[in-house]
Structure 1
Amino acid sequence: MTADEGIEERLLSRSGAAEPEEDSSLRSKVWEESKKIWRVAFPGMLSKVSVSGIFIVTQAFIGHIGETELAAYALIQIIGVQFVNGIILGMSSATETLCGQAFGAKQYHMLGIYLQRSWIINIITVTILVPIFICTAAIFKLLGEDDLIADSAGYIARWFIPILYYFIFSFTILSFLQSQLKNIVIAWLSSISFLLHVLLSWIFVTVLNWGIPGAMSAMIVASWFVVIGGFVYIFGGWCSNTWKGFSLAAFADLWPVIKLSVSSGVMIW
């Protein structure tokens, strides 16, 4: 064997030993990054699935009440609720951006301020949109919808008003906790609320035969269970670094937050 062949053989043997080490290192890095991603993404995904499940379960129970009621519920959910949901979800995504930046910069006290600012802006936005749900029957009749379905949709739409305000707190609290890697709390609350909703829907609609009021009451109670649980977690001291109580500072510098929220809301919608 010549000297050149010996050198070449040693180089090949070294490269062959290095490849398994590099592959092992790459797999380890991918696994670690995947765990970090799932730690953030899975609770948020579980929360969104639970919320969607509540709407589907309500639709199923209303379907047993009557065809007109089912058509009216589907109409207001697809057109009215999804319209507001898209706007509030988009505007709440601005809270996630601001809270994430503040947490990364270790300005922990600002997370609570941003959360309060988002509540102020979103409450005003939803209040402006509420008349749409009050006048739903007249709007649908103006668009040529059947009078019976339009009247039923108008009745159901009023029951959805508490759900609109639920969107405000649910989305923003999720963003607030997610920026701190604490959104597993909302995931558990959402899962429990889904099971609670199924139980209440069965009791109110099937056992007590309360009809539309029963189905919608079950939805409202189960949905607000998540929000109240979030309030208890935040106000109870489990976010002591990021929640310092209500502050008048939340009313200062609202305009930049409004611009970011509106642009995010229009984009998602």
Structure 2
Amino acid sequence: MSGEMEESEDLKWRVWAESKKLWRVAFPAMLARVTQYGMFVITQGFIGHIGEVDLAAYALIQIIAIRFANGILLGMSSATETLCGQAFGARQYHMLGIYLQRSWIINIGTGIILLPVFIFSGSIFKLLREETDIANRAGYISLWFIPILFFFVFCLTIQKFLQAQLKNMIVGWLSAAAFVLHVLLSWIFVSKLDLGIPGAMGAMIISSWFIVIGEFVYLFGGWCPNTWTGFSTSAFVDLLPILKLSISSGVMLCLELWYTAILVLLAGYMKNATVQISAFSICLNIIAWEFMLCFGFLAASRATEVHKIDALLFLSSVRVANELGRGNAKAAKFSVKVATCTTTCFGIFFMIICLVFSREIAYLFTSDEEVAEAVTSLSVLLSLSVLLNGVAVGAGRQSVVAYINIGCYYLIGVPVGIVLGYVVDLKINGIWIGMLLGVVMQVLVLAYVTWKTNWNEQVNMASERLNKWLLTPSEESNG
């Protein structure tokens, strides 16, 4: 009996100790992600009160074009997080700055390639046979999002660089300050000066770049003396293998983000498309905002070649990468378990909030009674989706995850959603049920993959990658 009590006490102490380590990374990561994504949600709220067509147009751009671009850049930046986390755990501090510069080179090029999506989005939506009024308005709004595209390029990579060395508190406070600034500017520009779309988008651009400028000041101002030693030509070394890892990460993440984008497009083909798109996008933004809380926490537990795969959780973070870099597979596995239990609690809490306050939440985004009613009708499905955000955990190599996403989302979720939405005539409820079914299937498969993960093998892979791409300080300076 005494032995069981001692084991129980030891487990409690281990959970407490690991939770403190996780929250040290998680709190600023959560603060940064929730407030940064919150700026998009706040903008949607202000635009929603400008007009119904404006809300639908903004929804098309944000959920389709922005998620498309953000998914690619976030996925490609995840390679930086993995490599920096492992290098920091292995005490190879000089490599972090090199990895950051390599990610800038890759992501700037990617941003330039993505520019036509924003320049010609109006024509693209017309080709996809969306309503003309919505497509034209979306094309106008998309031009305002171009500065946000390049905000992603720098913000995502610097944030992962700082997070890997447990210095992301500065990002959290900068993001929180930018969020407050954004709310204030949006209120002045839209509500007081009545500047409409230019006012709402101008507030977002100013607030977003406030974060990037603050990060540059922190980076170049000498607050990262061991990991940032200035620009180096070594950043151009080994770009191809990192590009391959970045692309695989980007494709994997985009498979999930494009899934919801396809569903929004499907909603646009229904009768009364303006209401359907608006209601669907409001619910998706609520889910995404809650996900940012969970994903911010899961950013505290990142594994090598283990990446976030869906609007749900994914084992991939700094704590795990640090432990893998140190060669401690047991600690990495335990960190994942503690993080999973914590995010499940998040999901349960926000599920209750969505069930109880669904109508009140709807009126935060719109003054239109029909849109609010459509959002309320989705409350049960919305709450289930929010719960899954907190429960779903997956792990595996990017290629494996990509196949899981394709199978669960595109071979199950989308076809079922089309049948229920159009054939059975359940409208957006049917599309959402299809989405949930795909997510549930994915959760089951990923749970199995996580359970079968060989953490000792992950340690060996981390060690091999570090040895393959490592530059000594002398090599870096001579590069």
Q: TM-score, normalised by structure 2?
A: 0.52
Q: Does 1:191 align with 2:172?
A: no
Corresponding residue of 1:163: 148
- Higher share in helix: 1
Distance in 1 separating the partners of 2:252 and 2:122: 28
Q: Following TM superposition, by how much is the alpha carbon of 1:180 offset from its aligned partner in structure 2, in angstroms?
A: 0.3
Q: Does 1:149 align with 2:134?
A: yes
Q: RCO higher in 1 or 2 (8 Å CA, sep ≥ 6)?
A: 1
Q: 1:208 aligns with which of 184, 193, 199?
A: 193
Corresponding residue of 2:233: 248
Q: Following TM superposition, by how much is the alpha carbon of 1:18 offset from its aligned partner in structure 2, in angstroms?
A: 3.8
How much is the aligned-residue C-alpha RMSD, in angstroms? Answer: 1.2
Corresponding residue of 2:401: none
Q: How does 1:27-38 map to 2 (within 5 A)?
A: 27-38=12-23
Corresponding residue of 1:99: 84
Q: Following TM superposition, by how much is the alpha carbon of 1:190 offset from its aligned partner in structure 2, in angstroms?
A: 0.9
Q: How does 1:30-179 map to 2 (within 5 A)?
A: 30-179=15-164
Q: Following TM superposition, by how much is the alpha carbon of 1:69 offset from its aligned partner in structure 2, in angstroms?
A: 1.2
Q: Following TM superposition, by how much is the alpha carbon of 1:48 offset from its aligned partner in structure 2, in angstroms?
A: 1.2
Distance in 1 separating the partners of 2:76 and 2:92: 22
Aligned residue pairs, count: 254
| Per-residue deviation, residues 167-213 of structure 1 (Å, max 9, x unmatched) | 11111111101110111111111111111100000011111111111
Corresponding residue of 1:262: 247
Corresponding residue of 1:232: 217
2:221 is paired with a residue whose SS is helix
| 4+ residue runs over 4 A deviation | none
2:10 is paired with a residue whose SS is helix
Which of structures 1 and 2 has the bigger CA Rg?
A: 1
Q: Following TM superposition, by how much is the alpha carbon of 1:250 offset from its aligned partner in structure 2, in angstroms?
A: 0.9
| Per-residue deviation, residues 43-99 of structure 1 (Å, max 9, x unmatched) | 212211112211110011111222211111011111111111111111110000111
1:250 partner letter: A
| Per-residue deviation, residues 17-47 of structure 1 (Å, max 9, x unmatched) | 4443333222112100111111122221221
Q: Percent identity?
A: 67
1:238 is paired with a residue whose SS is coil
Distance in 2 separating the partners of 1:129 and 1:20: 58
Distance in 1 separating the partners of 2:2 and 2:129: 74
